[in-house]
Amino acid sequence: MTSLFDRYRLGALTLPNRVVMAPMTRVRAAAGGLATPSMAAYYAQRATAGLIVTEGVQPSLVGQSNPGTPGLHTDEQVASWRPVTDAVHTNGGRIFAQIMHGGRVSHPDTTGMRPVAPSAVAAPGEVFTPAGPRPAPVPRALETAEVPEHALSYARAARRAVDAGFDGVELHGANGYLIAQFLSSSANLRTDGYGGSIAGRVRFAVEAVSATVEAVGGDRTGIRLSPGAGFWGAEETDIPELYGALLAELSSLDLAYVHIEVTTDEGVLVELRKAWPGTLVVNPVFPMGPRQTDKAAADHWLGLGADLISFGRAFIANPDLVERLRQGLPVAPDDESTWYQGGDTGYLTYPAYRHAA
């Protein structure tokens, strides 16, 4: 049986294990969306993961969702990321940047710009702003001629990511952000070629991924998906057909991987595994739910055909998570109050396991 600790070949990379550090928002960037020395230390501490995927990185100012998040759309941002990737590589790790366009999940108080989206439909609830939570605004619906520019923003950020020393990129197509908004039947009410039918709803995702592959190569490109999750009100219909069509379109691009969250029925995901010919990364628990991914869940999905398993919250308090899993050591709890508070407390202050003398 496949073990979580087996090596795996991912494009040009040899991963020493099948543990992936999942992307997690930590809002520790400096003004101007710059990566910081603390971020370099944070990711370097976790470099024993087979692969690290960073927090979401905005590809443009209008694509920024939350305040305090980093970018990859200016020369200064690229320069700020180089110490991060250098630190991870020095510690023997491999790191992809997750490129995340927030679409309608944003606010003018954060970016100075009205958010854009497939349609002028506000997300339900409140979004984060520098002054605290505010009701999500009604976004501006993109004109048909504007849509390709936003698809290309992922590719431009990917080129900058490679310039910054990243081993590759993951497009954030999950959790209700821009790509997921185009996939949605509630957030996407378009009647042009980017909406309506399944073929129309998957078009933006395919164009964004295709442009990124052209920019940096398929072996440096992944995408994260959350079938049926409904985050930020981005509901979907015809989930097996929708994601089956998307994977069929992506299958010719020789991607590094598809990263799927377990956000719909297991049987649906098993069928999608059969439909996807390439590397599959699975995050086995519902995001932000009560459970964390553990070794039992990882082994279950390896048995169902996943190639790699991503762990999110367990990595927050356990920089040495791979070794804890390997030796069956306790996994330390994290302090949720420090997830987004900024500073090094709850960020760099979790130690590796200490064996009793």
Residues with a catalytic annotation lie at 177
Q: Reduce the DSSP state of residue 157 to 3 states and report it.
A: helix
Residue whose C-alpha is closest to residue 292's, from 277, 266, 307, 312: 312
Closest CA to 48 of 23, 25, 18: 18
Going by the DSSP 8-state scheme, the letter that residue 270 receives in this structure is H
- Reference 183, options 233, 141, 235, 143; nearest CA is 235
Identify the CA nearest to 141 among candidates 128, 133, 150.
150
In Å, how far are 49, 236, 245, 298 from 320, measured between CA atoms?
8, 37, 38, 17
User: Burial, 214: exposed, middle or buried (Cβ in 10 Å; 0-12, 13-18, 19+)?
Assistant: middle
> Comparing C-alpha atoms, which of 183, 213, 210, 188 is closest to residue 198?
183
What are the structure tokens assigned to 54, written together?
Answer: 């960073």
Burial 252-287 (b: 16+ CB within 10 A, else e): ebebbbbbbbbbbeeebbeebbeebebbbbbbbbeb
Structural contact between residues 304 and 273, judged by C-beta atoms closer than 8 angstroms: yes
- Residue 45 near residue 335 (C-beta atoms within 8 A): no
Coil vs helix vs strand at 200 = helix
Q: Which amino acid does the sequence have at 97?
A: A
Q: Using DSSP bridges, classify how beta strands 308-311 and 221-225 pair: parallel, antiparallel or unpaired.
A: unpaired
